[in-house]
Structure formats: structure tokens, C-alpha cells
Structure 1
């Protein structure tokens, strides 16, 4: 490929159809990221009677499996791309298998007891996570192959986040409503699992068609400049080499991991905040409306700001705003009330930027590495990236469960009631406020080390 051809490809505008197909994939990724993080730990502790610490370990262990397999899936996706020019095969398998496995995760009845019920949920969620990774890892690799333009990637990921935000609203608010629509908690959770699983699978299947658009770009016909690794050991080694080689990737991944931990902690604590701080299990719907409604409106504004001042600066501004909002929520420990919704809404404005901007920066990191190391490693990058994101969200749930266990939270089975000690209520508030704020502050320190700018990408 000649150097003269690069500017033309960088400025080429993606078709509306390609942008729409790619964005629809966030119906799947948003649903999978939101609903289990919101209700799975609560499902274990307050429906199956699993102890809070054990519930956190179940969710974390399933996520650790993601960390193990994501680099392998990334390398396998690179091999498929080298052979066929497309990453679609893995995406389709994930989309077709996830709905059944997702429904099975919430199909376990309380009558099985905490031990058998916990093991069953763990195995079903483990299989669900595998299906999702088969889709997610190649899906995240596609923007680097769909367009070379700095601003065009921001546009592509900006619209993806609009759909992602709508999906978070749909699943975060609609999931608990589906649960309430059942004749009891057991049938309610099953209904939620079936409907949500189908919706997630459809979004993933539609988005898999975007891989064909990447396959038909001019440079898609070129064979990758590097040979994708074969063998488990070499695939993991390739991921380590990627981290060592790319300083921008280390900085961006560290920032994103810390922020995934922060948002994962808030997500896992949201249902507990609704039940024990706002004193209504159904208030979780309002919490999500407050968080995601403003984000849906703000997503295009972050795209526009990134075009004007650069992605990295806009990302820093969004991170600071989210930190301030999270820290303010600690006041709920002394005076809980409806004022919390407006503060959560303030965090929602920032949350839109936290979702779109790092995902738009990742393709820049990949293309920057390609200039010195050759094409064909996008899957390796996204395998490591997805594993890091998974670690963040998994440890978020773990942090909440450890806090609950340390403060004496009382687990129950479906239909039973319990009175929580004051220390447990305080722990819930801290998990929803101060802990995420501190993690966001740490992420700002790693973001300062990210040095790629527009000129480095469009040069």
C-alpha cells in the first residue's frame, strides 16, 4: 500500500449503513454488561440465599475465565482474519449461543439451596461469558479496520455509544420491570433472562454483518504483515509483547481498567442502594433513568467536543466530572433522598464520555502500532483490552461483596425479609460513592501518560 493512499482512506466517510450496523452491536454489549452487573450478585444473595462473599467470588471467578480466554480468542480472530479477510465467524457463534446460556443463568430456583444454586449459576454464567467473548473481542477490533480516520473513528464510536447508552437504559430499567412482571421472583427472573438474552443475541447477530464491510475495504485484500500466533503459550506471549511494545496502549488500558472497576462498583451497588438506601427495590429503575437518560443526550456532545479539542482532553474532562459526582453521593450516608437522582444524572452526562472516548482512542493505538510493527494484530490488542475491561467489572462486583461481608450484610432467600445493620447501609453508600471516586482519580494519573494526538494518527 503506497503512502500516498493513506490520506484518502483516512478522510473517507463511512456509510450510514455501516455505522448503524456497528452501533446496533451495542444493544448486545450494553445488555450483557448491564444486566448481570446490576442483578446477578443480588440474585445470588437475595433470591438463592448465597452468602455475600460467596456471591462475589462466583461472579469474579466467571469473569476470571474471561481474562483467560480473551487473549486466545483475540489471536484466533487474527488467524481467521488472515485466512478469510473477515472476523465474522466467531461473532456469529457467540450471537447464536448466548441467548440460551443467558436464560439458564437466571433459571435456577431457590429450592435447590444456596450451594447447588450457586454452582449452577456459576457454570451457566461461565458458558455465557464464553459466548459473549467470541463476539466481543472481534467486535472491538473492527473500528481499526473499518476506517483510518481520527475523527471518523470518533463518529463511528460516538454513534455506538448512543445505542450503548440506550441499551443500558433499556436493560437497566426494563430488566427489573420484567423481573417484577413474573407471578413470583422465580418466574420473574426466568422471564427476564429469556427476553433479555434474545434481545442481546439479536443485536450481536446484526452487528456481525459489519465484519463484511471491513473485509471489503481496499487494504482488506492485503495479507497481514505479521503471522498470527499459534499455540496457547505463543498467544499469551503475543499479548505480553503488545503491552511491552505500545506505551500508548499501556496508558489507555490502565486508565480504562481503573474506570471499569469504578463503574463496575457503582453498577453492582446500584440495586443495594435502591433497596436499602432509597428503601424500594424498584427504585433501581429510577437510578438507571437518572444515570442513562442524560448520557443518551450527552453522547453526541462528547463526540463534538473531541473533534474540537482532541479525544484525550475530552476524556480527561469526562473523568473529572464523573469523579465529582460520585464523591458527592457519599452524603447519602447521612441524608438519603430524591436529591441523589440529580447527582446521578450529573454522573450520567460524564458517563457518556467515559464510554465513547476510550473506545475511539483504541483504534488509534492499534493503527499507530501497525505503522512500526505491521498489520494483523488488532485481535491481539482487543483480546488484551477486553480481558482488562473484564477484570475491572469483575473486581467491581468483588469490591461490593467484600464490603457487604465486612459490614455484616444479611443475605436472604426469595420471599423472606431481613433488617440490615447500619454498618451495612454505610458500606453500600461508600461502594457507590467514595470508592468509585478514588478509582477515577487514579485513572486520571494513568491518562496523563497517554501521548497520542490527532497529528500522530492523521499524519
Structure 2
């Protein structure tokens, strides 16, 4: 059971807003490459689908190394700005440049283009880790209160919704503004615009959290990797929330990679990507107070089960899009958005609970290590979503192309797009419901759930 503080501090509204604005960065960096990079490589750089999937996946595997390192370094950082904010600043100074270069390369195609994008995406992943890991560690250190952490994070999720709207609606608009399929120049314009948004949001988070309270342990854990990993292995709630997040984000990443293909080959219009994303992110902006209330009414685990069922149910229903048409697709994606809103909010709220409990139990500041491992494992596993979808496309006979040489895809490739967007992600999400039942932390005053093997 989660320990309760006698007088839990209240996070000032200005800090909640300042912290939340940083989610423009975290949501955009995940969504834009997840949404556009695979399509950009296969349809503009003539990279085979399987190789494009490898390129999107490989730099994310690097997160398994860099994220825990950044978390450990931030735990041990001592500065007048606190342990986390110097790292936010470092990420703000490097990430926008690296992100822009991913879509602004020399005129290469095929394997050379894949190598260039892979190197730039690796640099992007490194710069992103400098910001993301300390950023995600902060909520568990701002307050002791079980429910206030959810309330704090609803602000973050509102900005996640806004950031996802920017990436899912604005980015495709910029890309397709110069033609139905877009051009290399339109991708560069998109990258430059998103880079400016990243820069502003990251500096906004850095300055906006200057007055953030620090309620966690004052000293970082000085133990070696072996001692820290041994402690984490014994932290069952951390292990289960990590497995849960990996499963859910794997499905999300598959759907992001599949979205432009679904719009182009299932609905029949690449520009439908914009309206589909509007249907997806609308609930993220509007339903956060509802999910906060549900987490109090049914506890976080019960609310997570409901959110995953809505997410998976909407995804499964999208399989009927070829029968019922584009309007039907947008309606079921709206249902998916309601589920994703709850899933995203509750993932981070549960992680913040785990971090707070660990600090209270050990007296050590290990939020960075826990968050670094969590984000590294989650990112590494979820990155396989694009790879899995790329393999599904290849098995379906999808033909790579360039704008100057468009091709007619075989029916098997169109079927592969539908399966990769709906059937496989739905099965993964329904599996996450079973995983949620293994999560054990409860609010103060509630009876602890019995641990099982």
C-alpha cells in the first residue's frame, strides 16, 4: 500500500502549466517520426519497407543504453537548478537540430538514404533522452499525494493531446500542402516548423519548473549498477507497470506507423491522416477530468482496465472500415482516442506512484534510474511496432517507390495495411488488460491487494 504524507504539498498552478508544456516535446518527438518516417523512407527515398522498419527501430534500441545512463546521472546531479533541470536545458539545446536533420538530408535513395536517416535518428534519440528521462522523473518528486499526482499529470496529458494534434494534424498538413503525396521540400518545411515548436516547448518546461517542489530524497543512489538493478528486480509494481507500458506502447507505435498507409490505401486519401488524428487527439484534450474522476472512483487499476478495453475495442472495430467507409473509421478512431487518453494518463500516474514509494522505502533518490529504465525498455519495445508493421507490409508484397515513379499496390499489400493497423494492435491491447490485473499499489487507507506469483 502507498504510504501517505501528513501534509502533502500542493504543486502551484504555474508549475503545473510549466511542467505540462514540456509534453509538446515528448509527444511530438514520438508521434512525428512514428507517423511519417516509415512512409517518408518507403515512398520518397525508395528504401525497402523491411529496411525502413529496421532504421526506425534500431536507434530506439540505443535507448536501452542511454536512458538509464541519463537517469543515473540526473539522480547524482547537484546544482542550484536541482537535479533534473540542467538536463532539460541540455536536451533543449540539441534535440531541435537533430530532429530537423532527420528529414533534411542530401539527395540520397535506397541504402545510403537509410544509413543517413539512421545516424540522424540515433542523434535525435540521444538528445531526446537528455530531456525526456529527467522530465518524466519529476512528478514523483513534486508531491507525496496519491491523487494529486494524477491531477498534476492531467495537465501534462492535455499538452500531450495538443502536441499530438500538432504532430498528427499540422505535420501532415505541412507535408501534403504541396501535393497529395507531398514533396521532399514539404518534408523539410515540416521538420523546420516542428523543430521550432520543440525548442519553444523545451525552454518553456525548463523555465516553468524553476519553482517546482522537491519532496523526494535529497541524495542520489550511489550504489553500482548491480545493486540498483537488484533493487529494481525486487520492485514488483515497477516491473508490472513497465511490462504494461511496453505492451500498450507497442500497439500505439504500430498504429502510428500504419496511419498514413491506412489513410492512403484503406480510406483512399493520404490527407485523411489529418482528420483521423483530429478524431484521435480530440478526446485527449477533453476527457482528462473524466479519467481523473474514474481513477478516484474505481482506483487507477480499474480505470486502466476500462481505458484499455475502449482502446482495444475501437481498434478492433476499425477492421470493418472497408465495409462501412471513411465516416465509420473516424467514429471508431474517436473511441480509440478516449481509451488512449486514459491509458496515457494512468501509465504516468502509476509510474509516479512507484517512484514515490521507492523513495519513501529506500530514502534514496532513484527517480532518474527508475524512469530511465522504464523509458528505455518501453521505447525499445515500442520501436518494434514500426518494424513489425514493415514486416507485415513486406509479407503482403508492398512495393516501395519514389514520387516520380508511383506504383499500384497489389491487393495483398492493401490487406496487410488493414491487418497492421487494426487486427494485430487490437490483440496486443487486449493482452494488456490481463497485465493490468497484476498491478498492486493502492491508495492510502485502501486494503493492499495480495501479491501473487
Contact persistence 1:179–1:192 (CA under 8 A): yes
Shift of 1:114: 1.3
Q: Secondary structure at the match of 1:338?
A: helix
Measured in 2, the distance between the counterparts of 1:356 and 1:419 equals: 41
Contact 1:71 1:239 in 2 (8 A): no
Structure 1 residue 440, shift from structure 2 partner:
1.0
The residue number in structure 1 matching 2:398 is 409
Partner residue, 1:152: 148
Given the superposition, is the C-alpha separation of residues 35 and 84 from structure 1 closer, same or farther in structure 2, using an over 3 Å criterion?
Answer: closer
Q: Provide the C-alpha distance between the structure 2 equivalents of 1:281 and 1:149, rounded to a whole number of angstroms.
A: 45
Question: Is 2:287 the counterpart of 1:291?
Answer: no
Shift of 1:93: 0.9
Native 8 Å contact 1:228 1:377 kept in 2: no
Distance in 1 of aligned mates of 2:353 and 2:447: 10
Distance 2:222 2:101 in 1: 35
Contact in 2 for aligned 1:407/1:423 (Cα 8 Å):
yes
TM-superposed deviation, 1:211: 4.8
For residues 357 and 319 of structure 1, do their structure 2 counterparts lie closer, same or farther at Cα, with a shift above 3 Å needed?
same
Unpaired runs of 5+ residues, structure 2, are: 449-453
What corresponds to 2:321 in structure 1?
Answer: 332
Contact 1:302 1:314 in 2 (8 A): yes
Kindly indicate whether the alpha-carbon contact (under 8 Å) linking 2:321 and 2:328 is maintained by their aligned counterparts in 1: no
Q: 1:422 to 1:246 in 2, by over 3 A?
A: same
Is 1:143 the counterpart of 2:143 in the alignment? no
Distance 1:442 1:5 in 2: 32
Task: Choose which of 121, 124, 129 in structure 2 pairs with 1:128.
Answer: 124
Quick check: 1:341 aligned with 2:338?
Answer: no
Displacement of 1:182:
4.7
Mapped contact 2:100–2:188 kept (Cα < 8 A): yes
- Superposed, which structure 2 residues align to 1:36-435 within 5 Å? 36-81=33-78, 85-109=82-106, 111-182=107-178, 185-214=183-212, 216-217=213-214, 219=215, 223-224=218-219, 227-229=221-223, 234-235=224-225, 237=226, 240-435=229-424
- After TM superposition, the structure 1 = structure 2 runs for residues 430-445 of structure 1, keeping only pairs within 5 Å, are 430-445=419-434
Query: Shift in Å at residue 339 of structure 1?
Result: 0.9
Q: Distance in 2 between matches of 1:336 and 1:118?
A: 35
Q: C-alpha deviations, 1:67-98, integer Å up to 9, x for none?
A: 22111111111111589732111111111111
CA contact (8 A) 2:11 2:143 kept: yes
d(CA) in 1 for partners of 2:74 and 2:235? 20
Q: Which has the higher helix share?
A: 1
Q: 1:29 to 1:84 in 2, by over 3 A?
A: closer
Structural RMSD (CA) = 2.1
Give the CA deviation at 1:268: 0.7
The alignment's TM-score, normalised by the length of structure 1, stands at: 0.92
Q: Judging changes above 3 Å, is the alpha-carbon distance between structure 1 residues 177 and 400 closer, same or farther for their aligned structure 2 residues?
A: same
Tell me the secondary structure at the aligned position of residue 208 of structure 1: helix
Distance in 2 between residues matched to 1:335 and 1:147, nearest whole Å = 48
Residues 47-75 of structure 1: CA deviation (Å, up to 9, x unaligned): 10000000000011011111221111111
Structure 1 residue 349 displacement after superposition: 0.9
Q: After TM superposition, give the deviation of residue 212 of structure 1 in Å.
A: 3.2
How far apart are residue 208 of structure 1 and its match?
Answer: 2.1
**Cα distance in 2, alignment partners of residues 425 and 179 from structure 1:** 23
What is the alpha-carbon distance in structure 1 between the residues aligned to residue 94 and residue 447 of structure 2? 39
Shift of 1:361: 1.1
Distance 1:239 1:59 in 2: 30
Q: 1:268 to 1:238 in 2, by over 3 A?
A: farther
Matched positions, count: 444
CA distance in 1, matches of 2:186, 2:82: 43
Does structure 2 retain, via aligned residues, the 8 Å contact 1:264–1:392? no
Question: Which stretch shifts more, 30-39 or 291-300?
Answer: 291-300
Displacement after TM superposition at 1:418 (Å):
1.0
TM-score, normalised by the number of residues in structure 2? 0.93
| Alpha-carbon shift at residue 210 of structure 1 (Å) | 5.0
